[in-house]
Structure 1
Amino acid sequence: MTWACGLLAAMWAVPAWAEKSDRSQPLNFAADSARVDDAQRLNILSGNVEITKGTMTVHADRVEVRQNTDGTQTATALGGPGGRAYFKQKREGMDESIEGEAEKVVYEGKDDTVHFTGRAVMRRLKGVTLTDEVTGQAIIYDNKTAVFQVVGNAGNTTSTKGRVRGVITPRGGEPTPAPAPKDKDVNLTPATGLSKPEGAR
């Protein structure tokens, strides 16, 4: 299973925004069954799959990891009938984490992207508080640039279910200025002891 573990570790490569200490953490996995196909360069974990590596957590019904001819890996996590695969990882240097769910989650090692397909959701959490959430039929996340694209159901033009939806919480910015004090009556009194300017009549 050494080769299989190596593929799993490569599959869940730690992205640039993730907790750096995760890189040196051991990868642990558990499943009801595992199969290694050396001829196809394929490793399959099936049934209640759980993968952890530092702060990273993956839950799925099935995980397939394939070694490509160019040396990169393609990994697919499936949620199973009616379910969704789940991914979560803490961000580096802050009390924030990113989590995502979809019927199918595919990591493409060649371009370092993660594709969430089918009832896809991505969330940003600050501590345990949800700050941002986007949903769509598909979400593509680029690990290199930390940019994600959300796609609705293009074939569904008559229902709101085909639309992309999201909630974004404002980030902390400049403090709101204090309200101006209410107008008050001002008593004006003439000045005394002032001499006229030189040359004045």
Structure 2
Amino acid sequence: MTATGLRASALLCLSLSTGLIGTTPAHAARDDANKPLSISADKGGRLDVARQRTEWNGNVVLSRGSMLLKAERMDIQEGSDGYYLAYAQGEAGKPVNFRQDRDVAGESIQGYADQLEYDGRSDTVRFIGNAVVRRMRGSVVADEVSGAVIVYDNRTEVFGVEGGQGALQPNGRVRLVMSPRGSASAPAPAASTPSLQLQPSPGLQPLRKTP
């Protein structure tokens, strides 16, 4: 199979939706978008007031409510509408890390990759290169997905996963591990707690890159 064929065959979507018709889905922490954005770094940064753009270097930490983003380098731009676009880059042996609470008590989304793009307008996170994203119940991994590129939509809680070059698995394959309900390794979710479901993918929509 060609690289193009492998890339196309390894494209899928995963939805953190309820398995019960008529039940309200859980989402990422909704009040995070209303919280102030905070940034710190070891090596300082640069602020371009005219372009509303900042660059930070050295153990950069960005937080907004329950959302926490850590990277070696980060480039952040604020649009005229007040939304932020962030590009984060790790280094060898130290990938970019992301964490955000869900609206399910004790659950969070955690992930890491070589690079990460966050689009505040669409509330979408794009993990690029050796990407891994997990749904956690406390300190226990409930579900895990890995691939070359993972796009996570905070509003709909849908993951777009793409295989190919840059995936952790051999031959660029994507991988999904799901804990059974009521397993000994993870606590059983409540009846309304959503679980991962495979769905046909409509195709990944790339985020804008910071100019």
SS at match of 1:145: coil
Partner of 1:166: 176
Gaps of 5+ in 2: 1-25, 183-187, 189-211
Distance 1:57 1:155, change over 3 A: closer
SS at match of 1:39: coil
Gaps of 5+ in 1: 1-15, 174-201
Distance 1:93 1:103, change over 3 A: same
Partner of 1:50: 61
The alpha carbon displacement at 1:142 in A equals 1.4
CA distance in 2, matches of 1:155, 1:98: 21
Alignment of 1:119-134 (within 5 A): 119-134=130-145
Pairing 1:77–2:88 present: yes
**1 or 2 for the larger relative contact order (CA 8 Å, sep ≥6)?**
2
Cα RMSD (Å) of the superposition? 2.7
The alpha carbon displacement at 1:34 in A equals 1.8
Partner of 1:8: none
Of 35, 40, 48, which aligns to 2:46?
35
- Give the counterpart letter for 2:76 in structure 1: V
Aligned residues: 156
Partner of 2:9: none
Deviations 1:99-150 (A, max 9, x none): 0101111012343321100000100111111111111000011122110111
CA distance in 1, matches of 2:82, 2:37: 20
Distance 1:54 1:72, change over 3 A: closer
CA distance in 2, matches of 1:80, 1:146: 28
Partner of 1:135: 146
Partner of 1:184: none
CA distance in 2, matches of 1:80, 1:42: 22
Residue identity over aligned pairs, in percent, reads 42
SS at match of 1:63: strand
